[in-house]
Amino acid sequence: MLDKLKKLEERYHELEEFLASPEAFTNKEQYNKRAKELADLREPVSLFHQYKRNEKEIEEMAEMLAEKHDKEFAQLAKKELEDLKAAQLVLEAKINTALAGEDKDIGRDIIVEIRQGTGGDEAGLFAADLYRMYSMYAQKKGWKFESMSANTTELGGFKEVAFSVKGQDSYKRLKFESGVHRVQRVPTTEAQGRIHTSTATVAILIEPQEVEFEIEAKDLRIDTYRASGPGGQHMQKTDSAVRITHLPTGVVVSCQDERSQLKNKNKAMRILRAKILDAKREEESKKLSQARKSQVGSGDRSEKIRTYNFPDRRVTDHRINFTSHRLEAIFEGDLDELSDALLKAAQEKQEAGQ
């Protein structure tokens, strides 16, 4: 572990020197790439520095304890030495986690996108229920929740909806939500009282940092149009809605929630950047087949990850065979039971080297 950390520290200093040199500004793409690498190394290198400082304090305290024989001093020194050794174990665990790459994105902000799946109007209502569930969870956790775009159905559901979540552990807690969610219940639209199965797809997108990549203006087509739906007379008079197409990838994002065209454009660009980064990461992760095996589930959007069964009042996560009978509480935003189980399963798989 220490040899690897020393190499990372050397690389960190090399990157610092390069980014401070005039040469760094001659190639913007290289600058962004190395700035991103530097940012990724910051945490393990910082932990390594703490580890070395702690190690030095342990050695000095052990020497002092060996040299002095005052009983009162010895008791205090032993206690401090025990605390330092305990802190060292904690640092070692943090370093191992950072080196494993598990914590690389832990502090990142995210954009959540929910799309109506199979099941018609009921699927749209289910998408709206998931939106409410995540918004209430964010409120309970003290996270900042910002609506970004929405395409509603006539019954008040969502064809698709996107929102951002910022706050401590938001990515850590929500990263396993990507995939197909299934609900089994009697729809309000069903007169015969028959149980209906419908789905919605959830995507957890990491919001890119400025240094990660740049989108060229020439690669974008931006269209404006009049927003539809509720919003007042202004929406019929101004082209406030924005549709952005990323020409190289074909990714299209629309936003019409704000009265201002500029605000809609800024939100659409944030979603677009997150989608492009997600596609890049997906492509990279497919190359790392062994790394994907260590995850809880494949992360594939087509994978059915969870079923919400209303007749039996249960929620089952199929990736870890975990069932909770607290369906109502979960739909009210009490998701810690599920996220705790998923985090525990992921940690166990990582430790087992699967």
Judge if pTM exceeds 0.75.
no
Quick one: pLDDT at residue 145? 94
- What pLDDT score does 23 carry? 86
Q: Give residue limits of the domains in the chain.
A: 2-99, 110-211+290-352, 217-285
CA distance 253 to 250: 10
3-state helix, strand, coil in the chain (%, to 5): 50, 20, 30
Per-residue pLDDT, 135:
97
SS3 state of residue 338: helix
Q: Identify the pLDDT of residue 295.
A: 46
Q: Which CATH class is domain 110-211+290-352?
A: alpha beta
CATH-assigned architecture of domain 217-285: 2-Layer Sandwich (3.30)
Cβ atoms of 314 and 305 within 8 Å: the answer is: no
Tokens of 193: 């009282």
What's the CA gap between 262 and 269, in Å, rounded? 10
pLDDT for 106: 65
The C-alpha angle 326, 331, 332, rounded to 5 degrees, equals 95
Judged on CB neighbours under 10 Å (0-12, 13-18, 19+), 284 is: exposed
User: What is the per-residue burial (b if ≥16 Cβ within 10 Å, else e) of 25-34?
Assistant: eeeeeebbeb
By C-alpha distance, which of 60, 186, 62 is closest to 125?
186
CA distance 214 to 222: 17
Predicted confidence at residue 284, as pLDDT, reads 62
Residue whose tokens read 């969610």: 181
Distance in angstroms (rounded) separating the CA atoms of residues 149 and 258: 9
- Token code pair at residue 302: 């087509």
Which two tokens mark 218?
């020439």
Regions of the chain short of the pLDDT cut 70: 68-69, 100-107, 189, 191, 209-213, 228-238, 284-302, 350-354
